[in-house]
Amino acid sequence: MATLPTEILEDEHKLIMRVVDALKVFAENMEDGWEVDEETLVDIIEFMRVFAQKWHHAKEEDELFPALVKRGVPRVGCPLVQLKNEHKKSNNYVAELVQSMELYRRSGVEGWTDVIQGLKNLYLYYPNHIWKEENMLFPMTNRLLLAEDQQQLLAEFERIDALHGQKLHDRLEQFALRLEKQTFGD
């Protein structure tokens, strides 16, 4: 059980990376002619939109970043603005993947290349972004935030979790585990 907010975020990163690692394999295999069923791609998009963007990024941008600003981290400039911009970039990659899926539905093969590129964009983006957070942002967080700040963040993270619900969390987590198993085996 995580005792620090950053440990919760790291656990969420692990779940996100399960999906991202599978995206790399999917994109490479799709380039070689392997077909991924549309339902799996739709589930990947849902996972990235709901879990990564609306759930995980909300904990960082709506709760963690303001707590850091309160403890003296500049609101503008590095690292917070850079990380927010990276979140926007990942949101754009997911939106482009959605558009690619729509193009594929309309035109077939023509859109398939764009779907592959959308998967590549995500798997190339996330490892570097997560590295920055885990090796730069989170250590800074644990140095700067007081015990009461950490407890407040834990409470806010619980509120965000409750807002989305355990059932949805479990479903998205099970999807990530199934995708990993489907991609890499046992």
Tens of pLDDT along 136-169? 999 999 999 999 999 999 999 999 999 999 999 9
Q: Any idea where the domains of the chain sit in the sequence?
A: 5-184
Q: Which residue has the higher pLDDT, 86 or 37?
A: 86
Give the separation between CA 157 and CA 15, rounded to whole angstroms.
16
Task: Identify the band that residue 2 occupies on the pLDDT scale cut at 50, 70 and 90.
Answer: low
Across the range 176-184, mean pLDDT stands at: 92
Q: Report the CATH fold assignment for 5-184.
A: Four Helix Bundle (Hemerythrin (Met), subunit A) (1.20.120)
Instruction: Indicate if the pLDDT at residue 1 is higher than 60.
Output: no
Q: Summarize the confidence of residues 89-95 as an average pLDDT.
A: 96
* Prediction pTM value: 0.93
For residues 86-92, average pLDDT:
96
- Grade residue 186 by pLDDT with cuts at 50, 70 and 90: low
> Does residue 59 contact residue 82 with C-beta atoms inside 8 Å?
no
The 10s digit of each residue's pLDDT in 99-145 is 999 998 888 777 889 999 999 999 999 999 999 999 999 999 999 99
Digit-coded pLDDT (tens) for 14-67? 999 999 999 999 999 999 988 888 899 999 999 999 999 999 999 999 999 999
Alpha carbons 35 and 27: distance in angstroms, whole number: 10
In 3D, which of 148, 157, 145 has the Cα closest to residue 69?
Answer: 145
Q: Spell 91-121 as b/e; 16+ CB within 10 A means b.
A: bebbebbbebbebbeeeeeebbebbbebbbb
pLDDT for residue 24: 93
